[in-house]
Amino acid sequence: MLGLSVLADSGLEHYRGSFRNPAMVFPLLSSSMAIGFNGRRLEKPLSDEKTGPLVSHLTSAATGVVGLGFHLYNVMKRPGGLTFTNLFYAAPAGAPFALALAGALGSTADRLARGKDTLGPIHLTSGRAIGLLTSFGLIGTVAEATLLHFRGAYHDPFMWLPVALPPVTAASLARDVVDDQPRQITTSLLAATAAMGLIGVGFHAYGVARNMGGWKNWRQNLLVGPPTPAPPAFTGLAIAGLGALMLMKKRRKARG
């Protein structure tokens, strides 16, 4: 889900930038690859294919980190450097981060499916590692939504929702992880966050309609209006969070 959101969003945005830098196709390739492998994993969770997915996840993560560098460079080279206008309109610093995250979550899922319960030094079966990663991811995504909705001057009160809800969700999830105790409220919050991500597409579509010419002028307005593929990033992360909670519960049961 996160992979899809990244693919569509970066596809749209890098198309807007006319792929001026050849490196701008990388996130498209790597997020497609991630979707491919992660999707197949859904069908055949226990396949023993190893290298393909591993390469994919590593590429995702690496592309994300390198992308972060590129985007930061793009911000800094503009007049004024680290100013609001550059953060608003230059390459978004937070976006590649989502790809890195997709990579990390993907490889975690992989290891789990293969019955391995550690990723390096980190214990996975507890669900706590994934939970923590998801919390961080939510906060990062919130940061980006906050910045870009500030760019839109919160002209619609609903624009506060993705700024207000996910931090609460992230905090609740983090608390469960730390206490190693999954709570019902966290599940509800995660579900709400997942739903919000989907509803967000509708709001962004409405935002596109409010540009000159509305959807009739979709070829332009999809690019200048609010990005329709972006909000489901929240859904992807929330689902990962729900997975983490499930693992935590399962383990608690096993422990009795």
> Binding to other proteins by residue 74, rule CB under 8 A?
no
Q: How far is the CB of 122 from other proteins (least distance, A)?
A: 40
Give the residue among 106, 228, 237 at the shortest CA–CA distance from 166: 237
Pick out residues in 181-240 that bind other proteins (CB under 8 A): 207, 210-213, 220, 224
Q: How far is the CB of 83 from other proteins (least distance, A)?
A: 8
> Binding to other proteins by residue 153, rule CB under 8 A?
yes
> Binding to other proteins by residue 78, rule CB under 8 A?
yes
Binds other proteins (CB under 8 A): choice among 42, 48, 155, 256:
155
Pick out residues in 38-67 that bind other proteins (CB under 8 A): none
Q: How far is the CB of 207 from other proteins (least distance, A)?
A: 7
> Binding to other proteins by residue 150, rule CB under 8 A?
yes
Q: How far is the CB of 69 from other proteins (least distance, A)?
A: 22
**Which residues, at least 6 apart from 189, have a Cβ–Cβ distance to it below 8 Å?**
165, 168, 169, 172, 173
Residue 25: HSE in the Cβ half-sphere, 13 Å Cα cutoff: 2
Pick out residues in 83-102 that bind other proteins (CB under 8 A): 84-85, 88-89
Residue 92: HSE in the Cβ half-sphere, 13 Å Cα cutoff: 24
Q: How far is the CB of 205 from other proteins (least distance, A)?
A: 13
Nearest 5°: CA angle at 85, between 83 and 86?
70
> Binding to other proteins by residue 77, rule CB under 8 A?
no
Q: How far is the CB of 155 from other proteins (least distance, A)?
A: 4
* Nearer CB in complex with other proteins: 39/213: 213
**Which residues, at least 6 apart from 112, have a Cβ–Cβ distance to it below 8 Å?**
124, 125, 247
* Nearer CB in complex with other proteins: 20/255: 20
Interface residues with other proteins (CB under 8 A)? Answer: 78-80, 84-85, 88-89, 150-153, 155, 207, 210-213, 220, 224
